[in-house]
Chain A
């Protein structure tokens, strides 16, 4: 039982956040005549206290999914439910209530702040929108607790302008801001990529601590090592389609889809060279390359050389807690036991 609702049925426990066959289509072209499918039939579920990594390269649709969850972008097809309730089309007070529960933090900490105001103005904005009646002392206490949760020292960060704080401090302030609302779910979209290496791990550890307190997190990233560090579940996206998903250990330990293998083979690792990893994953150029695309020569991203998934491909349970996209012919021949056996 995959529990991912890919067959349209949940596991009955009512996960925290659930996507059911969600698609997003953009109109492009001068008069909106053309269409571009950014997200295609995506279904997954995140439970409380769980971190799900959504991994993909640019154009994969990962940020679009985040924006749809945050209600910053409308859904074209499908449903997003939060604690069992469909949030795709709520408005007014119901939407405000949703914002109390679900918040986002994005890639560039510096552009989330108005540079002519002090950084903690973001807290004041929360107060006026969500806690207008709260007393001064009670509010200050609340801020103190939120800052403590993100391991920031109040005198070091309060009353400062954004340019006086580091990227890592600004990101943690944004997480504290979300915590002021006692959120249940956080969408973290590439929140680490603009931070220095020595501060990245602090923000990652913070997210791991918060999930220990019951927060559900969608961690969007292109960096597999980060996803591996904190997430229980992983979704690999390619051009709007889920190509592989499941328990992080299984997706990374037993990568099955050629795109996943190619991603893993491309990640620069600290103790093993690319040749060693490619050898291990048996990533053979001849198997992966779409010869026609390679012959065209002016390819955009290197991963475009990889043959795309057919329109009739399906997600199949390759082993418990591990789904992989196959063509219908391949799917018929899959023996879950054989795939699981490879993990040893």
Chain B
């Protein structure tokens, strides 16, 4: 098992109290699996992705276990995690375009990053060049400052640098969001290519765009208000979802070919609950058309079909 997460809870400290952004999640990712992590703003997906790499700012580890390749990761210990970051697990952060040091040429920044991990820059250089070429970047890019590249080019450069040491787990946080449609496709396909070539073993692809996940992910995990709603193969989530939130979400997405006059789509009325003092029970019950008395008790996230997990009393 590549990644095992058990009852992970990460909150944000605020003056008003703790925001329970990631509130007890348990799931596994197998070797070679590309898992999409989908949900709307505030669902906890970015918190989940980032907590595995670094607890920064106001993030607070509350409880839970994270194991990568059977090794426990001490995510609560920023210094200890340095041994694992970039080598065993790596992230392509949101706003990757702004992730590079503007005062350093890209080659020099990469060199510094490698040296900080005790890896010889010179030894890795040939491989670095090969990978830049794979994503359509000339090696001249190493001699440029980030400001000299376009958004799409920066994104691809960051992809190469983040995976340079062949991490076991790659977390890609909203890496297609700010890109044009054609560059989105190229970037998404590159992720799969990286896995095919063994540069990365498993991936968590965080995005709100479920249709991209359908194209490249093996499985999709849907989150809602800090909790897990459903996990299954991409095919199943799109074509036969069982959690009411997933079903409503999928049916609210416009597609090429669907017109307003042909088939009027409906959104989900209401908004997600605030997570400062979240409601008890299922967090979706206020907006759920199928809610009943049992929903006042939190439903467990369990396997309802082989490989298909969901947290809904109606489906158990």
Kindly state whether residue B266 has any CB partner on chain A within 8 Å.
yes
- Chain B 220-270 residues near chain A, CB threshold 8 A: 238-239, 248-250, 252-260, 264-268
Q: Please report the C-alpha to C-alpha distance between residue A229 and residue B267 in the assembled complex, in whole angstroms.
A: 14
Q: Known contacts A196-B208, A264-B256; is A301 also within 8 Å of B150 by CB?
A: yes
Report chain B residues within 8 Å CB of A166. 271
B211 near A201 (CB under 8 angstroms)?
no
Residue of B nearest to A59 (CB): B180
Q: Known contacts A198-B249, A205-B260, A226-B254; is A263 also within 8 Å of B185 by CB?
A: no
Q: Known contacts A197-B40, A298-B138, A299-B136; is A268 also within 8 Å of B153 by CB?
A: no
Report chain A residues within 8 Å CB of B249. 197-198
The 8 A CB mask of B95-132 against A (1 = contact, 0 = none) is: 00000000000000000000000000000000000000
Least CB distance from A155 to B in Å reads 15
Least CB distance from A66 to B in Å reads 18
Q: Please report the C-alpha to C-alpha distance between residue A226 and residue B40 in the assembled complex, in whole angstroms.
A: 18
Q: Please report the C-alpha to C-alpha distance between residue A202 and residue B270 in the assembled complex, in whole angstroms.
A: 11
Q: In the complex, which of the residues B138, B256, B265 contacts A205, with contact meaning CB atoms closer than 8 Å?
A: B265
Residue of A nearest to B177 (CB): A193
- Chain B 147-174 residues near chain A, CB threshold 8 A: 150-153
Kindly state whether residue A262 has any CB partner on chain B within 8 Å.
yes
Kindly state whether residue B209 has any CB partner on chain A within 8 Å.
yes
The 8 A CB mask of B11-40 against A (1 = contact, 0 = none) is: 000000000000000000000000000001
Q: Please report the C-alpha to C-alpha distance between residue A263 and residue B184 in the assembled complex, in whole angstroms.
A: 11
- Chain A 244-280 residues near chain B, CB threshold 8 A: 248-249, 252, 262-264, 266-271, 273-274
Report chain A residues within 8 Å CB of B212. 268
A198 near B248 (CB under 8 angstroms)?
yes
A197 near B210 (CB under 8 angstroms)?
yes
B267 near A198 (CB under 8 angstroms)?
yes
Q: In the complex, which of the residues B41, B182, B211, B266 contacts A269, with contact meaning CB atoms closer than 8 Å?
A: B211
Report chain B residues within 8 Å CB of A297. 133, 136-138
Report chain B residues within 8 Å CB of A201. 252-254, 265-267
Q: In the complex, which of the residues A200, A204, A303 contacts B180, with contact meaning CB atoms closer than 8 Å?
A: A303
Q: Please report the C-alpha to C-alpha distance between residue A321 and residue B215 in the assembled complex, in whole angstroms.
A: 33
Report chain A residues within 8 Å CB of B183. 301-303
Kindly state whether residue A71 has any CB partner on chain B within 8 Å.
no
B257 near A252 (CB under 8 angstroms)?
yes
Q: Please report the C-alpha to C-alpha distance between residue A197 and residue B213 in the assembled complex, in whole angstroms.
A: 14
The 8 A CB mask of A197-228 against B (1 = contact, 0 = none) is: 11111101100100000000000001111101
Report chain A residues within 8 Å CB of B254. 200-201, 204, 225-226, 228-229
Residue of B nearest to A294 (CB): B136
A222 near B181 (CB under 8 angstroms)?
yes
| Number of residues of chain B lying within 8 A (CB) of chain A | 48
Kindly state whether residue B214 has any CB partner on chain A within 8 Å.
yes
Residue of A nearest to B238 (CB): A270
| Number of residues of chain A lying within 8 A (CB) of chain B | 43
Report chain A residues within 8 Å CB of B153. 298, 300
B215 near A228 (CB under 8 angstroms)?
no
The 8 A CB mask of A298-320 against B (1 = contact, 0 = none) is: 11111100000000000000000
Q: Please report the C-alpha to C-alpha distance between residue A36 and residue B258 in the assembled complex, in whole angstroms.
A: 37
Kindly state whether residue A284 has any CB partner on chain B within 8 Å.
no
Kindly state whether residue B62 has any CB partner on chain A within 8 Å.
no
Report chain A residues within 8 Å CB of B266. 201, 205
B264 near A205 (CB under 8 angstroms)?
yes
Q: Please report the C-alpha to C-alpha distance between residue A209 and residue B151 in the assembled complex, in whole angstroms.
A: 36
Residue of A nearest to B151 (CB): A58
Kindly state whether residue B54 has any CB partner on chain A within 8 Å.
no
A228 near B136 (CB under 8 angstroms)?
no
Report chain B residues within 8 Å CB of A302. 136, 152, 180, 182-183, 185-186
Q: In the complex, which of the residues A204, A252, A273, A296 contacts B215, with contact meaning CB atoms closer than 8 Å?
A: A273
Kindly state whether residue A108 has any CB partner on chain B within 8 Å.
no
Report chain A residues within 8 Å CB of B79. none
Q: Please report the C-alpha to C-alpha distance between residue A52 and residue B212 in the assembled complex, in whole angstroms.
A: 26
Least CB distance from B243 to A in Å reads 14
Report chain A residues within 8 Å CB of B209. 268
Report chain A residues within 8 Å CB of B137. 297-298
Kindly state whether residue B305 has any CB partner on chain A within 8 Å.
no
A252 near B256 (CB under 8 angstroms)?
yes
Q: Known contacts A198-B267, A270-B238, A273-B215; is A301 also within 8 Å of B180 by CB?
A: yes
Q: In the complex, which of the residues A58, A224, A273, A274 contacts B256, with contact meaning CB atoms closer than 8 Å?
A: A224
Report chain B residues within 8 Å CB of A202. 267
Least CB distance from A201 to B in Å reads 4
Q: Please report the C-alpha to C-alpha distance between residue A71 and residue B41 in the assembled complex, in whole angstroms.
A: 34
Kindly state whether residue A57 has any CB partner on chain B within 8 Å.
yes
Residue of A nearest to B150 (CB): A300
Q: Please report the C-alpha to C-alpha distance between residue A180 and residue B23 in the assembled complex, in whole angstroms.
A: 43
Kindly state whether residue B73 has any CB partner on chain A within 8 Å.
no
Q: Tell which of B133, B136, B210, B264 has the most Cβ of chain A within 10 Å.
A: B136
Kindly state whether residue B293 has any CB partner on chain A within 8 Å.
no
- Which residues in B have some Cβ–Cβ distance to A below 8 Å? 40-41, 133, 136-138, 140-141, 150-153, 180-186, 188-189, 208-212, 214-215, 238-239, 248-250, 252-260, 264-268, 271
Q: Can you list 13 contacts pairing A with B, beta carbon distance less than 8 Å?
A: A166-B271, A197-B210, A198-B267, A201-B253, A204-B265, A226-B254, A228-B258, A230-B259, A267-B211, A269-B255, A270-B253, A274-B215, A297-B133
- In the A-B complex, the 8 residue pairs with the smallest Cβ-Cβ separation, listed nearest first, are A57-B180, A268-B211, A196-B40, A298-B138, A229-B254, A303-B182, A198-B268, A300-B150
- Which residues in A have some Cβ–Cβ distance to B below 8 Å? 57-58, 166, 196-202, 204-205, 208, 222-226, 228-230, 248-249, 252, 262-264, 266-271, 273-274, 296-303
**Beyond the given A197-B40, A302-B183, could you list 20 further A-B residue pairs with CB under 8 A, ordered by the A residue number?**
A58-B151, A201-B267, A205-B260, A205-B267, A228-B257, A228-B259, A229-B254, A252-B256, A263-B182, A267-B181, A267-B211, A270-B210, A270-B214, A271-B238, A271-B255, A274-B189, A274-B215, A298-B136, A300-B153, A301-B152
